[in-house]
Amino acid sequence: MADMFAPMIEQLKANPKTIVFTEGPDPRILEAAAKLLEEKVLKVILVGNVEAVKAAGAAGNFEVSGAEIIDPATYEGMDEMVQTMVELRKGKMSAEDCAAALAKGNYFGTMLVKMGKADCLLGGATYSTADTVRPALQLIKTRKGAHLVSSCFILDRDFGEEGLKRIAMGDCAINIDYPDTVDKATGEVKLSGAQKLAEVAIETARTAAIFGIDPKVAVLSFSTKGSGKGATVALSHDATLIAQEMAPEMAIDGELQFDAAVAPEVAAVKCKGSKVAGQANTFVFPSIEAGNIGYKIAQRLGGYAAYGPILQGLNAPINDLSRGCNADEVYKMALITACQG
């Protein structure tokens, strides 16, 4: 196991948390849950039909008797949950709509977090990213001061004698791009794309710090300090200035090309004197296209293990799994999710 997880386990043993898995009968979830319970790292809630979950556990020889299994169809607190959800949705969903939604594990699990019955949630083994994020946006909502939900990946590699190298990349999974948010009535820009990207930069730095990274944030582009022109160059440039103003205590610089961000010899030529260039470890991309390609290159060609997407900006820790995940990835993402709280 990478060193990243040892301190997480100790932290969680000292400060117990409860995680809810929205897909209780899934064998990958059950295997991960059994390991968490055996190690006494987390308390576990499994959402699903009780008999189906128990049968799946027995079939896989997964010891999950220590988990709480909750079936939305027989949950005694459902009336209260429906009423709470109606109030949260503020006229956008009727009681009937809410009851129908809460019959599904993704909405039900999210409401368990909202109502304080669990500290965090991990889903997506069978649900799409949208089906995990949508309930979180509607019910958990964004943290005070946050205007959007974003994501980052933590990438980790052991370089042997050179030691561990850990980096963060965002946003690689949620925001396709960063258009201005415009008031439909007045045409006034309520939130610019640069403000959004600046927020992603700051949130990614904060997430990086959770995992032992002293964040040096490069807001990336195909241009370094005005060497190129184009819409995303302006976006990365402006986002850097806004992020520096929002979080003057953080080391943030841009717009930077990737070589200027990581290679000291390139940084010395292109942006001498930067506190980030040549030593960046936290990378912010101007679009999901660039970010998704970037982290997968690091993973597949660079040999990095990639953990995520880790969601940022929500009022409670909620994360999404890949539908192609395995039990080890579920286990590690559970640790990451719980440590965000």
**Are residues 324 and 279 located together in one domain of the fold?**
no
What's the pLDDT tens digit per position in 61-101? 999 999 999 999 999 999 999 999 999 998 889 999 999 99
Q: What is the pLDDT of residue 222?
A: 95
C-alpha 113/C-alpha 6 separation (Å) is: 26
**Are residues 18 and 113 located together in one domain of the fold?**
yes
The helix (run of H) or strand (run of E) holding residue 298 is helix 288-300
What's the pLDDT tens digit per position in 187-216? 899 999 999 999 999 999 999 998 889 999
Name the least confident of 211-215, 219-223, 281-285.
211-215
What's the pLDDT tens digit per position in 13-64? 999 899 999 999 999 999 999 999 999 999 999 999 999 999 999 999 999 9
Q: What is the pLDDT of residue 287?
A: 96
More confident residue, 131 or 292: 292
Q: What's the domain range around 201?
A: 150-306
**Are residues 324 and 284 located together in one domain of the fold?**
no
**Are residues 243 and 181 located together in one domain of the fold?**
yes
The total number of structural domains in the chain stands at 2
Domain of 86, CATH number, reads 3.40.50.10950
**How much is the average pLDDT of 130-142?**
89
Domain of 299, CATH number, reads 3.40.50.10750
Does 164 score more than 80 pLDDT?
A: no
Q: How many CA atoms lie within 13 A of 159 on its CB side?
A: 8
Residue 159's Cβ-count burial label (10 Å; 0-12, 13-18, 19+) is exposed
**Are residues 253 and 164 located together in one domain of the fold?**
yes
**Are residues 12 and 137 located together in one domain of the fold?**
yes
**Are residues 189 and 207 located together in one domain of the fold?**
yes
**How much is the average pLDDT of 236-240?**
96
Residue 163's pLDDT band, with cuts at 50, 70 and 90, is: low
Torsion region of 40: left, alpha or beta (phi above 0 gives left; psi -120 to 50 gives alpha)? left
**How much is the average pLDDT of 297-303?**
93
Question: Using an 8 Å Cβ cutoff, are 93 and 101 in contact?
Answer: yes
C-alpha 254/C-alpha 274 separation (Å) is: 9
Residue 1's pLDDT band, with cuts at 50, 70 and 90, is: very low
Does 2 score more than 60 pLDDT?
A: no
> Of 7, 19, 3, which Cα lies nearest the Cα of 338?
19
What's the Rg (C-alpha) of the chain? 21
**Are residues 133 and 154 located together in one domain of the fold?**
no
Does 237 score more than 70 pLDDT?
A: yes
Does 160 score more than 90 pLDDT?
A: no
**Are residues 158 and 299 located together in one domain of the fold?**
yes
What is the DSSP code string of 101-162?
Answer: HHTSHHHHHHHHHHTTS-SEEEE-SSS-HHHHHHHIIIII-BPTT--S-EEEEEEEEE-GGG
Sign of CA dihedral 206, 146, 251, 154: positive
Which pair of structure tokens corresponds to residue 185?
Answer: 């009535």
Name the least confident of 2-16, 54-68, 234-248.
2-16
C-alpha 37/C-alpha 34 separation (Å) is: 5
Question: Using an 8 Å Cβ cutoff, are 170 and 150 in contact?
Answer: yes
**How much is the average pLDDT of 286-302?**
95
Q: What is the pLDDT of residue 101?
A: 94
More confident residue, 231 or 34: 34
Q: How does the average pLDDT of the chain come out, rounded?
A: 92
Name the least confident of 152-156, 182-186, 310-314.
182-186
**Are residues 163 and 78 located together in one domain of the fold?**
no
Residue 152's pLDDT band, with cuts at 50, 70 and 90, is: very high
Does 332 score more than 90 pLDDT?
A: yes
Residue 259's Cβ-count burial label (10 Å; 0-12, 13-18, 19+) is middle
What is the DSSP code string of 255-276?
Answer: EE-HHHHH-HHHHHHHSTT-SS
